Each structure stands twice: as structure tokens, then as C-alpha cells.
């Protein structure tokens, strides 16, 4: 049986109880939903982390209330750290945080898609990661949610889990881990001549590179907008074949384009580095798709849905 951790804000409890009741009609799914008593003790971050680690997948009920909840933020950040599969379920039109934006979200009204996403292929459990994360959560001494988040960030950062503001970034949109180098240190005093030569060489190379970039049209060295691309491919979710003639709209830039015979599209725009943009994809016979992407990164892949025949 598939076990699901249900992450939500208590301000959405009426919707959550309805969703939980609908999911329980599926015998292959069991729901774990937190109880208020779990937060009474000082060690609730560790207990909650273990509960997330014990489930197969995290169903994130996202709303304006969830976006403002320290508990919900703690839960999805911990799920990322544990490399758990996350299925965002939208209760309203609140935009997902950047670290989750590339994950396909599903409306709370579309129960069949929610069930399909939950029961789809998940991520393999990383036992070593689980032990590390739970151990770190066990070191947290605070009990107030805001204070727990404040303690969680430096604890994860000690293990090179990169924390930016309220977001723990992730590898493959889970957690981005940078392994510490195990190279032994060399005495600087003994190697100072080599280091000086390397530093001088690097500074020279950087200076030359900056000069060249400044001469290339469309590129900027001052952190301002510059020409970037957004590429992607559209597929039929049922047949897995490319879909041509799909209208792609970037409303922010007032740009439109139709996919070619290979289901591909390509945009060029002047914008800030890796800026997040909203796009829509639509074609007669398919559900309208709205998503988010960061320009200048790898091509995105979108599955359009329609009834399989």
C-alpha cells in the first residue's frame, strides 16, 4: 500500500478533510496526516521528519495559507532534503516557491490526476540521507515554528545543503548537495610561489574574459538584462508522441509561437539571468497547460493531456 504524507495549513482544514476522504476511497492509498499533539514536545521537528521519511510520497496542499505557514515550509523543505517525491496539489491560484515550480502541479478538483501522480514511479530511498537529515533535526532545540526554521537552515548548511532565504534548493528539484572536497591541505608557506603564479594567471584570464564579453552584443557584465533563450518540447501524454501546432504564450513578453513537427519551440528574450516566467500551452482537443520555467536553463518537457482512445 502506498503511504502518503499530507502537508497542509490548518486554515484549509475543511478542504483537506474532504480531499482526505476522497483519497481514502482508493484502497491502494493510505494517508498520514499530522495531529496537533505532535507539536507539543520540544522534539517535534525530529518526530515530524521521521514521519515524512517513513512515507512513500508527500502530497503538498498548496494555498495562500500554506505559503504563509512555517510548518508547511518546514515539511516541504524536509521532504526535499530527504529526496522524497512531492506532488503539489493546488487549492487556489497561489504560485509555488521557485524550488518546486518545475514540478507539475494538480488542481484539488482533479482527483484522478492526483491519484495517478501519487501512484506513479517515485524516488528511490536514500538511507544515508535519511540518517543524516533526521540526526540534524534531532539537534534542533527550538519549539516555535519560526525558530525551528531559523535553526534548520544552519544545520543543513553545515552539511553543504545550500539554503537561500526561505528555500532549500535541490538537486533535480529536490536538494542540491555539494560534496566537500577531501583533498588534504598543503602548506601555503611551502607553495607560495606556485599560488602567486596561479592567482596572477587567473586574474589576467578573468580580466581578458570580461573585456571580451563586454564587446559581444546582447551580453551584459553588470548583472542587468541580456538575451536568453527558453526551449522546450510538447508531447501527448497518452501516446508520448510530439505534438505540433501547439500555441505557446509568454504573456509577460507578449510572445507567441507554435510547436513544429517535432513538438519543439524556441524563444529568445532580453531578461534578467534565469528569470522565472509564466507560460501557457494550448491546442484544440487538449487541456490548457499553465506552468513556470526559468529562462536560460535546459529545455523543458511538457505532456499535454486529453482522453486516451
**Selection from 67, 79, 78 nearest residue 12 by Cα:** 67
pLDDT for residue 113: 93
Domain definitions of the chain by residue range: 1-179, 226-304
Please list the helix, strand and coil fractions of the chain in percent, rounded to the nearest 5, in that order.
Answer: 35, 25, 40
Backbone angles phi, psi at 5, to 5 degrees: -90, 120
pLDDT for residue 162: 38
In the structure grid, which three cell numbers stand for residue 123, read together? 524516488
Helix (H) / strand (E) element for 300: namely strand 300-304
Helix (H) / strand (E) element for 247: namely strand 247-250
pLDDT for residue 180: 37
pTM: 0.48
**Selection from 271, 259, 270, 252 nearest residue 231 by Cα:** 259
Distance, CA of 269 to CA of 275 (rounded, Å): 11
- Neighbouring CB atoms inside 10 A of 111's CB total 16
Helices (H), 5-140: 13-23, 44-54, 64-67, 70-81, 111-119, 127-138
DSSP string, 89-102: EESSSPPPPGGGTT
C-beta of residue 268 within 8 angstroms of C-beta of residue 231: no
**CATH number for domain 226-304, candidates 3.50.50.60, 3.40.50.720, 2.60.40.1120, 1.10.3720.10:** 2.60.40.1120
With a cut of 70, which residues of the chain have pLDDT below it? 35-42, 121-126, 141-143, 145, 149, 152-194, 196-197, 207, 209-223, 307-309
Q: List Cα–Cα distances, 50 to 67, 83, 112, in angstroms.
A: 23, 13, 29
pLDDT for residue 41: 54
Helix (H) / strand (E) element for 229: namely strand 226-236
The reply to whether 226-304 shares the fold of 1-179 is no
**CATH number for domain 1-179, candidates 3.30.390.10, 3.40.50.970, 3.40.50.10140, 3.50.50.100:** 3.40.50.10140
DSSP classification of residue 179? P
Q: Is 164 helix (H, G, I), strand (E, B) or coil?
A: strand
Backbone angles phi, psi at 30, to 5 degrees: -115, 140
In the structure grid, which three cell numbers stand for residue 200, read together? 596572477
Q: Is 144 helix (H, G, I), strand (E, B) or coil?
A: coil
C-beta of residue 164 within 8 angstroms of C-beta of residue 157: no
Helices (H), 10-60: 13-23, 44-54
Tracing cell 501524454 back to the chain, one arrives at 237
In the beta sheet, which residues pair with residue 31? Answer: 4
pLDDT for residue 89: 94
Distance, CA of 32 to CA of 40 (rounded, Å): 18
pLDDT for residue 225: 84
Distance, CA of 231 to CA of 299 (rounded, Å): 5
Amino acid at each position: 500500500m502506498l503511504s502518503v504524507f499530507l502537508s497542509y495549513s490548518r486554515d484549509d482544514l475543511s478542504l483537506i478533510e474532504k480531499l482526505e476522504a476522497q483519497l481514502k476511497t482508493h484502497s491502494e492509498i493510505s494517508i498520514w496526516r499530522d495531529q496537533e499533539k505532535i507539536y507539543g514536545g520540544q522534539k517535534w521537528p525530529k518526530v515530524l521528519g521521521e514521519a515524512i521519511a517513513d512515507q512513500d510520497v508527500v502530497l503538498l496542499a498548496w494555498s495562500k495559507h500554506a505559503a504563509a505557514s512555517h510548518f508547511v515550509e518546514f515539511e516541504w523543505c524536509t521532504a526535499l532534503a530527504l529526496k522524497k517525491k512531492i506532488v503539489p496539489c493546488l487549492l487556489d491560484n497561489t504560485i509555488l516557491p521557485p524550488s518546486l515550480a518545475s514540478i507539475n502541479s494538480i488542481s484539488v478538483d482533479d482527483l484522478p490526476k492526483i491519484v495517478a501522480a501519487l501512484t506513479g514511479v517515485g524516488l528511490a530511498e536514500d538511507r544515508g540521507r535519511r540518517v543524516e537529515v533526521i540526526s540534524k533535526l534531532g539537534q534542533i532545540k527550538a519549539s516555535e515554528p519560526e525558530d525551528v526554521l531559523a535553526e534548520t537552515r544552519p544545520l543543513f548548511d553545515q552539511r553543504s545543503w545550500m539554503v537561500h532565504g526561505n528555500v532549500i534548493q535541490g538537486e533535480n528539484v529536490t536538494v542540491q548537495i555539494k560534496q566537500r572536497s577531501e583533498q588534504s591541505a598543503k602548506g601555503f608557506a611551502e607553495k607560495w610561489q606556485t599560488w602567486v603564479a596561479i592567482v596572477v594567471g587567473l586574474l589576467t584570464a578573468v580580466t581578458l574574459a570580461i573585456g571580451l564579453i563586454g564587446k559581444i552584443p546582447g551580453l551584459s557584465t553588470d548583472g542587468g538584462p541580456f538575451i536568453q533563450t527558453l526551449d522546450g518540447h510538447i508531447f501527448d501524454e497518452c501516446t508520448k508522441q510530439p505534438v505540433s501546432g501547439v500555441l505557446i504564450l509568454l504573456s509577460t513578453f507578449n510572445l507567441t509561437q507554435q510547436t513544429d513537427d517535432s513538438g519543439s519551440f524556441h524563444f529568445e528574450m532580453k531578461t534578467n539571468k534565469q528569470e522565472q516566467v509564466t507560460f501557457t500551452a494550448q491546442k484544440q482537443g487538449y487541456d490548457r497547460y499553465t506552468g513556470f520555467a526559468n529562462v536560460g536553463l535546459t529545455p523543458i518537457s511538457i505532456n499535454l493531456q486529453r482522453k486516451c482512445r
